[in-house]
Each structure stands twice: as structure tokens, then as C-alpha cells.
Amino acid sequence: MAVTADSERRMLLVLLLTASIMVAEVVGGILSGSLALLADAGHMLTDAAALALAWLAFRLGRRPSDQRRSFGYHRLQVLAAFVNGISLFALSGWILYEAAERLMQPQPVMGGTMMAVATLGAIGNVVGFVILHRGDRENLNVRGAMLHVMGDLLGSVAAIAAAGIILATGWTPIDPLLSALVALLILRGAWTVVRQSMHILVEGTPSDIDLDILRRTLRDAAPDVTDIHHVHVWSLTTERTLLTMHAVVRQDADRDAVLGVLLETLRQRFGIGHATVQIETGPCPDGRP
């Protein structure tokens, strides 16, 4: 994945814009008494964190490895994502508790203030989407950020609709009902973040790689390979997959040629650009598998 200065700059702009809207919704939610605005601010917090991680990935991706960190600083973004996901469970629980309290004991909501802040948020989200849309849309981080901004826009539109209902009918229960819906959306996103980051932190096999298919594909590509074992595949980040394995080849095989075929197949078929392959012609010195 190519990282450009333009993509990094656009990501930072949208991050700052999203964080600013989040702060405005917190202030607006407190002033208007709208839990929906506070819940949407919580939703934007999840997306601001995701944007920050994407920006961090751009920044850290340029840092070289050193003597103590041979893989550089890439794994920090995964650790940050895990901590962020855990904190979102607590945030969602608070929103759901407050929503239940307000359904039982309705609170006054200033629909006009709620409408103004939600409209401001929608405008900001449209601007953020345009900024990203004009950038490198082939970059996975940029594409993911665009989806987050679209989610924020939908949340703002929902808050505008709730404010309209309050202004037109005075029916304030729509506010905590909408808040509970947003909290469930946050929970869904938080669970996905925690599950994916935990899988990476425990060095689980990436979900898009089947080890049996990988072995079979490599043996088909390199007929001189008689056996493949000690296969370990894991992720450094969501976008960087690593592999180590042992490959047994025939005694008369051209080892360098076989190695080249294996590495190229891993790169082209499975997107694995960093692989360590041990070539063997006899019994595995480490035991098998």
C-alpha cells in the first residue's frame, strides 16, 4: 500500500474536522439536553479514533525499524485499536443506561439547539467526505475513512430528524430512542474492533487465508516441492501479512528457482510480501510439523 503525503494530509484534515464536530455535539447535547446528540458524539468518537489510527498508520509506516523494534512501530496502531474498542463498551453502556432513565423519566429537550448542532455536524461530514473523495481512493485507509464519515453523516441526519419531530410534535422520547440505536451501532463497531485487534495481537491466521489452500497452491506452482510444513501466517497490522514455512524439495531441484516461485506465488496469490521460507532436501531438522 503506497502512502502519499496528500493522503496523510487529507486524513489529518478529516480527523480534525470530525473531532471538532464531536466537541460541538457534546456541548450542544449538554446545552439542549439531547442524549441523541451526546450519543452521536460517542459515535463520532469511535470514528475519530479510527481516523486517528489510519493517520497514525501513515505516520508510523514511514518510520524505519531499529535495533529494539525490528518490525518498526506498526503494531502500536493495533494495540491502540484494542484499547479504544474496550473503552467503547463502557461508553455504550452509559448511553443505554441514560436512555432507559430518560424513557422512564422524560427530560425536556431544546429542539432548536439540537437541530442547529445536528445540521452543523451534517455539513461538516459532507465536507469531510468531499476531502477524502478527492484523494487517493485506491488506498485502503482512505476508503475505510470514507465509510466512517458516511456513517457519521447518517447519524447527523437521524439527529436532525429527531429534532424535527421534537419541534413539530414535542414528543421527546424520540431522543433517548435514537440514542439507544446509536449506542447499539457503537457496540457493533466496538466488538468488530476488539475482535479483529485481539486476533492480530495473538498472532492469529488472517481470516482471508486458508492454510490448506495455501499449501496446495504452492505445491501446484512449484512441482519440485514435495512437502510444506511448519507454516505460520500472522498479521503485523490489518494490511501487512507475514509468513514463515519450511519447504522440502527434490534433491536435484534448483533451490533458488523454487524459492523464487514460492515467494512470487505468495505475493501474487495471497498478498504476502514478507515471507521467510526454509528450503530442505531431507528430514526437517526441527522435527515435524
Amino acid in the structure at residue 279: I
Range of weakest confidence among 59-63, 256-260, 267-271: 59-63
Higher pLDDT, 170 or 70: 170
Q: How many angstroms separate the CA atoms of 50 and 142, rounded?
A: 11
In terms of pLDDT, which residue wins out, 120 or 238? Answer: 120
Across 5-9, 10-14, 143-147, the highest mean pLDDT is recorded for 10-14
The burial of 155, by beta-carbon neighbours within 10 Å (0-12 exposed, 13-18 middle, 19 or more buried), is given as buried
The mean pLDDT of the chain is: 85
- H or E stretch covering 50: helix 35-61
Domain segments of the chain as ranges? 5-201, 211-280
The pLDDT-based confidence of 1 (bands split at 50, 70, 90) is very low
Amino acid at 31: L
Cell, residue 276: 521467510
Left, alpha or beta for 112 (phi > 0: left; psi -120 to 50: alpha)?
alpha
The CATH fold of domain 5-201:
Alpha-lytic protease prodomain-like (1.20.1510)
Say what the pLDDT of residue 3 is: 46
Q: Which CATH superfamily, name and number, covers 211-280?
A: Cation efflux protein, cytoplasmic domain (3.30.70.1350)
Segment 21-52, tens digit of pLDDT: 999 999 998 999 888 888 878 878 877 887 88
For residue 251, which amino acid is it? Q
Contact 44, 25 (CB under 8 A): yes
How far the first Cα of the chain sits from its last, in Å, is: 33
Are residues 77 and 168 in contact, defined by beta-carbon separation less than 8 angstroms?
Answer: no
Residue with the larger pLDDT of the pair 227 and 240: 227
Beta strands 274-280; 240-249: pairing state: parallel
Of 141, 112, 146, nearest in space to 54 by CA:
141
- Crossing angle of helices 174-201 and 75-104, in 10° steps, is 160
CB 148 within 8 A of CB 128: no
Q: pLDDT class for 226, splitting at 50, 70, 90?
A: very high
pLDDT bucket at 288, cuts 50 / 70 / 90: low
pLDDT, mean of residues 168-177: 89
In the prediction, which pLDDT does 55 show?
82
